[in-house]
Amino acid sequence: MRTIELVLLVYALAFAIGMAVAFLVRWIGKLSAMLDLQFDPMLRHEYYRLKRIKKYHKEQVKRISKLSDNNNDLVSHYYGGNTTADPNDILKWKK
């Protein structure tokens, strides 16, 4: 009985660690692109510019949402849909 417990524990741990490693591998792809970015002044400037724009847009969406709780049309009219300013595009391009 204790052997079965051990086997189940080992397999469960292996699955947990293995999947964590797989997520890490996926995340490292993005992280290394970020690091590459830090050494390219032009790209870095563009990345943070877009990031600021995105943050500004998000804040505007929040602000208008508060002003017009029941008026979703207004929100989507002004700030909904694609802002097109996605800093992650640069990371994707770097990849």
Interface with another protein (CB under 8 A) = 2-4, 6-7, 9-11, 13-15, 17-19, 21-26, 28-29, 31-33, 35-36, 92, 95
Nearer to another protein, 19 or 67 (CB): 19
**Alpha carbon distance 84, 67 (integer Å):** 24
Nearer to another protein, 23 or 48 (CB): 23
Length of the chain counted residue by residue: 95
Nearest approach in angstroms of CB 89 to another protein is 11
From residue 25, how far is each of 15, 88, 89 by CA, in Å? Answer: 15, 18, 20
Nearer to another protein, 9 or 67 (CB): 9
Dihedral angle of Cα 55, 56, 59, 64, to the nearest 10 degrees:
-140
Nearest approach in angstroms of CB 53 to another protein is 23
Nearer to another protein, 63 or 95 (CB): 95
For residues 52 and 89, is the Cβ–Cβ distance under 8 A?
no
